[in-house]
Amino acid sequence: MTSGERNRKTTLRTRLRAARRSAVMPAMAAEVLIAVAAFGVSAGQAVCAYVAAPSEPGSVEMLDALRDRGLRVLLPVVVGSSLDWAAYDGELRPGAFGLHEPVGPLLGAAAVGSAALVLVPALAVDHSGVRLGKGGGYYDRALTLSTGPLVALVRDEEFVPSLPAEPHDVRMDAVLTPGSGLVRLPL
Ligand SMILES: Nc1nc2c(c(=O)[nH]1)N(C=O)[C@@H](CNc1ccc(C(=O)N[C@@H](CCC(=O)O)C(=O)O)cc1)CN2
Ligand SMILES: Nc1ncnc2c1ncn2[C@@H]1O[C@H](COP(=O)(O)OP(=O)(O)OP(=O)(O)O)[C@@H](O)[C@H]1O
Task: Determine the pLDDT at residue 131.
Answer: 98
Tens-digit pLDDT profile for residues 86-117: 999 999 999 999 999 999 999 999 999 999 99
- Is 25 in contact with 54 (CB distance < 8 Å)? yes
Which listed CATH number (3.40.50.2020, 3.40.50.10420, 3.40.228.10, 1.20.58.1180) goes with 3-184?
Answer: 3.40.50.10420
Q: Which H or E run includes 117?
A: strand 115-121
Least confident of 4-8, 21-25, 42-46, 148-152: 4-8
Q: Which H or E run includes 94?
A: strand 92-94
Helix/strand/coil for 88:
coil
Which strand ranges, in their side-by-side order, compose the sheet holding 159-160?
Answer: 131-132, 124-126, 159-160
CA distances from 127 to 73, 111, 163 (A): 27, 28, 9
Residue ranges per structural domain of the chain: 3-184
Which DSSP letter does residue 152 get? E
| Cα 169 versus chain centre, distance | 14
For residue 165 and ligand 1, the question of a CB distance below 6 A is answered with: no
pTM score, whole prediction: 0.96
For residue 107 and ligand 2, the question of a CB distance below 6 A is answered with: no
Report the relative pairing of strands 115-121 and 150-153 from DSSP bridges. parallel
Ligand 1 pocket test target in 97, 119, 141, 153 with most atoms within 8 Å of CB = 97
Identify the residue whose C-alpha is closest to ligand 2 atom 10.
Answer: 137
